[in-house]
Structure 1
Amino acid sequence: MIRLNRNIFPAVEGIYVVGGAIRDELLGRKPADYDIACAVDTEKTALQIAANTNGVLVKIGKPGQFIFRVVSGKNIFDLADLNGQTIEEDLEQRDFTINAMAYSISGGDIIDCTGGLKDLEKKNIRMVSKEAFKKDPLRLLRAFRIGAAFNFKIEPATLKEIENNAGLIVNSAGERVRVELLKLMDALKSYQYISEMADTGLLLVIFPELGRLRGCEQNRYHIYDVFEHTMSSFYHLEMLINAADSLNITRSARNALFADKKKIALLKLAILLHDTGKPASRTIDKKGDYHFYGHAAAGADMSKKICDRLKMSSREKCFIDFIIRNHLRPLSLFTLHLETKLTRKAVTRFFRKCRDYSPYILLHSIADSQAKGDKSDDAFKNFITDLMDDYFAVFKILKRKPPLITGHDLINEFGIKPSPLFRKVLNYVEDARLSKEISDKASALRLAEEFIDR
């Protein structure tokens, strides 16, 4: 049922709400964005909608492809000329049938010439025509993104056409690909669609670096090659995200960990790329065992180039780079723990080094471990979840408190001048404070003196 407020629109023939807004209305969702196709004066229509909604009108695009955008509160109305002589011609040039329906403002009826209503009922993603992907190759990726958003299946003929045209995605602008990818990663169940992207070849066209992981065998700790391990890591990460209660951490820690949806989407992308450095780093020893020394740094360097291709922001690049570059650190802590050599100070240094990235690296490490394929390592998972609780319940609270001493104290108490020594002393004392070895200024000054004199 369409529940549009028809008072927003001029009551004249030739104005149609089209695409995703109609799909969402039929699914019982409230759209925020409305695409409007006009067979009448588009600018005049936009001015009237702006007046009716107290909205602001802006003109975007270039001659022949102008869009008139009305922004009113949380709603956006994008108006464009009809693409063709009739609304049916316009709809037949769109991407998928569920997006190729229109609602006539004057008539109050749904126009469905491509079978969108039937596909919506069947939960199908189906191309409008075989030309859809040639007209806009980004639609290749959008099929999976929309499928993931609604948990719809991509019908076989459309999947086959995606496979046939996968190579065209390189003609899409990197920033457009990035937007679709992150929306896909934001879906609760994106693994199925990422897997289908791999089957069609589209994933490996977007990320050719992943193609080199196929057939790259690993050591005895893994039963999969690097590609299958990567896909399994993605699967396990998504399972952990969607079943947060399975993480034996406090509710407040869970809430804090999963509060930022964008970081969770970026974490999924990071785990997809985390082992891209393995093929170039693989060596074999005299016993026939494989090693991947330096693969984390190599993978981070490769991922930087991928992020550049996708025109990611500096913050997005830094997040992905840091996760990949440091994804082995939790395993090193666990090794120390097994050898009973792990100290409170070592844990504190990990948290200080990894800062706000700490819980995401820890979550990544659980999925990475579970994806080795032999068996679930409960000891490792329990160790990591204990670290998560420690980070939120102890470290973050202590970190908010001010340091016990500053550079002024070093000058006044010990007469030393500002130098690189300052940072070393202050870091040493801060590690002790955050490790709960000291808690007052007098103890901090004694520790500083010991460090300076040694």
Structure 2
Amino acid sequence: MMRASPLPEDLLALLPRRSDEGPRVWLVGGAVRDWLLERPILDLDFAVEGDALALARSVADGLQADYYPLDPSRNTGRVLVQDSDTGKRIYDFAGLRGPDILTDLRDRDFTINAMAVDPFDLGRLIDPTGGLRDLKEKRLRACSDSAFLSDPLRVLRAVRLSQMLELRMEAETITSLKAATHLIESVSPERVRDELMRIFGLAEPSGALRLMLHLNLWEAVFPELPARTDGAAVETALRTLGHAAEILAVLDPVHDEERAADAILGSLVWRLGRYRQAIYENLNAEVAPDRARRPLLFLAGLFHLVGCSSIGPNGPAMPCPAEARMKLAAQRLRLSRRESRFLLRVLSAMHELRRIEDISPLVVYRYFNQAPDAGVGTVLLDLASQLAKQPGPPSGEDWEAALAKSRTLLEAAFERREELIDPPSLVDGTKLISSLGLRPGPEIGRLLERIREAQVEGLIQTEEQALEWTRRWIQAGR
């Protein structure tokens, strides 16, 4: 049965046919792979025999979309289409890598990405390296022995594709991959960052991390983590991230009901399921263009769990500052300031949650005050760490206590925000100064914060009460 075209009709109408005088064009790469697998496709890559920049500009004009000359020296342009359903779609147009389409495909990374189709003749697959066979046999195979040497970033891409598509890596491909591992440091930090974010954005990133360990990629990919990492700490980290992925899967708005049949996950869904959509929107909010909170949460979780444990010269584990390691990683990967702050807030919030025993309105307020954007995700990461403490399920009492704490915090975030996290201002600094005869300075800010805390505790509700409470607070010498 012929599959439906992966190309939107408005785009197809703007592409030159083979009989036209315009450049010859093929749909290539991951879009063809995902089309054959019947996976969702948002971004499309085209190989162009001719002026790819001119074609991209023409398509952008026809779609009333944005055009970017990605790499004029390599005849590569991008069309960015705003879509009301998906947010945006990306169409990349690149000149052929060689004299013809067959040479272009053979020069790509993996056989499953080295297939092409004519947009107007989808029934004829161009597949010079046997990608379709590898796809059917669930095998990841490099197009050539030099694939990783020509672009070492493909080492990370191999890990991601293996995990994402559940492929087994061919033996010769593994050998070639390992030979190029040391070259990862030669890849631009931005490219490494983007591929790592895709890995941490997978539905189950811990599987990819485990594969990195197996392939001896750990030190090359995470040089900031201890060189002599405690194996138990790594295993705990991988279990935690695995449980975090399970938690997010059962709390996803589109979820598999059977996954929650487990008693532990079932109780979690019963207590937290009402917040599915809110959690999804929170974790998928962008921190930087095309980079959301969710992958950053998993990255921070890894550094929290592994970054504070290493093997010392005499054998026992020694504590080390995860925050310092996280800062170094953020700098190396060229993460934005907002992303760096988010990562550090996750680390801080993880420590804070460990200390919380009796949860009160003031505790809730202070928690979200120090982790405004990271608080929700860290609650779920903390739940996952509870599940990872031991190989088997946690005790019923401990798990119920953890769920109760999480429910209180998520309820505050999604249903009681104005009451417990962001109460309306009763007074401002000017009012405090004029009414109480105070001098401007840092102390005014501290007083305003203490007023907000008293408001959350239910001690004050009006401007008059706030001023009187502050007057007594000052008189008491606090």
Classify the TM-score, shorter chain. 0.7 to 0.9
CA contact (8 A) 2:234 2:306 kept: no
Whole-angstrom CA distance in 2 between matches of 1:232 and 1:25:
33
Residues 47-446 of structure 1: pairs in structure 2 closer than 5 A: 49=59, 53=63, 57-63=67-73, 65-71=74-80, 73=82, 74-105=88-119, 109-212=124-227, 214=229, 216=230, 225-244=232-251, 246=265, 247=268, 248-259=270-281, 260-261=283-284, 262-279=292-309, 292=319, 295=320, 298-334=321-357, 337=358, 343-373=360-390, 376=394, 377-392=398-413, 395-398=416-419, 399-446=421-468
SS of alignment partner, residue 426 of structure 2: coil
Whole-angstrom CA distance in 1 between matches of 2:352 and 2:53:
58
After superposition, give the CA deviation of every residue in 1:37-71 in whole Å (9 maximum; x if it has no partner). Answer: 233454555465456555565433243x2213344
Whole-angstrom CA distance in 2 between matches of 1:282 and 1:366:
30
CA contact (8 A) 2:364 2:412 kept: no
CA contact (8 A) 2:428 2:448 kept: yes
CA contact (8 A) 2:160 2:198 kept: yes
SS of alignment partner, residue 59 of structure 1: strand
CA contact (8 A) 1:395 1:434 kept: no
Shift of 1:139: 0.8
CA contact (8 A) 1:253 1:388 kept: no
SS of alignment partner, residue 363 of structure 2: helix
- CA separation of 1:86 and 1:291: change in aligned 2, threshold 3 A: closer
TM-score normalised by structure 1 residue count: 0.84
Whole-angstrom CA distance in 1 between matches of 2:61 and 2:426:
60
CA contact (8 A) 2:46 2:93 kept: yes
After superposition, give the CA deviation of every residue in 1:316-372 in whole Å (9 maximum; x if it has no partner). Answer: 1111111113421111112xx3xxxx6543343233233332222222222223322
Which AA in structure 2 matches 1:422? Answer: I
CA contact (8 A) 1:359 1:391 kept: no
Shift of 1:274: 1.0
Whole-angstrom CA distance in 1 between matches of 2:311 and 2:115:
51
Identity of aligned residues (%): 27
Which AA in structure 2 matches 1:423? Answer: G
CA contact (8 A) 1:97 1:114 kept: yes
SS of alignment partner, residue 225 of structure 1: helix
After superposition, give the CA deviation of every residue in 1:380-428 in whole Å (9 maximum; x if it has no partner). Answer: 4224323323422565122444222222332333222223332232222
- CA separation of 1:208 and 1:110: change in aligned 2, threshold 3 A: same
Whole-angstrom CA distance in 1 between matches of 2:294 and 2:441:
40
SS of alignment partner, residue 45 of structure 2: strand
Which AA in structure 2 matches 1:389? Answer: L
SS of alignment partner, residue 236 of structure 1: helix
Which AA in structure 2 matches 1:358? Answer: G
Whole-angstrom CA distance in 1 between matches of 2:387 and 2:402:
9
Total equivalences in the alignment: 432
SS of alignment partner, residue 274 of structure 1: helix
- CA separation of 1:189 and 1:58: change in aligned 2, threshold 3 A: closer
Give 5+ residue unaligned stretches, structure 1. 217-223
1:26 aligns to what? Answer: 36
After superposition, give the CA deviation of every residue in 1:174-212 in whole Å (9 maximum; x if it has no partner). Answer: 111111111122221222122111110123311023353
SS of alignment partner, residue 17 of structure 1: strand
CA contact (8 A) 2:76 2:92 kept: yes
Which AA in structure 2 matches 1:267? Answer: L
Which AA in structure 1 matches 2:279? Answer: L
Whole-angstrom CA distance in 2 between matches of 1:436 and 1:281:
48
Which AA in structure 2 matches 1:69? Answer: R
After superposition, give the CA deviation of every residue in 1:129-153 in whole Å (9 maximum; x if it has no partner). Answer: 2211111111111122233433444
Moved more, 26-35 or 262-271: 26-35
Which AA in structure 1 matches 2:37? Answer: L
Shift of 1:255: 2.6
After superposition, give the CA deviation of every residue in 1:69-116 in whole Å (9 maximum; x if it has no partner). Answer: 344555443333221223211111101111101113576521111111
Q: Which of 8, 12, 15 matches 1:9?
A: 15
Give 5+ residue unaligned stretches, structure 2. 83-87, 252-259, 285-291
SS of alignment partner, residue 80 of structure 1: strand
Shift of 1:309: 0.8
Q: Which of 441, 448, 452 matches 2:470?
A: 448
Whole-angstrom CA distance in 2 between matches of 1:106 and 1:366:
51
Which AA in structure 1 matches 2:296? Answer: L
Which AA in structure 2 matches 1:96? Answer: F
CA contact (8 A) 2:300 2:343 kept: yes
Which AA in structure 1 matches 2:372? Answer: R
TM-score normalised by structure 2 residue count: 0.80
After superposition, give the CA deviation of every residue in 1:250-273 in whole Å (9 maximum; x if it has no partner). Answer: 445343223132212111111111
Residue 38 in structure 1 maps to residue 53 in structure 2 = no
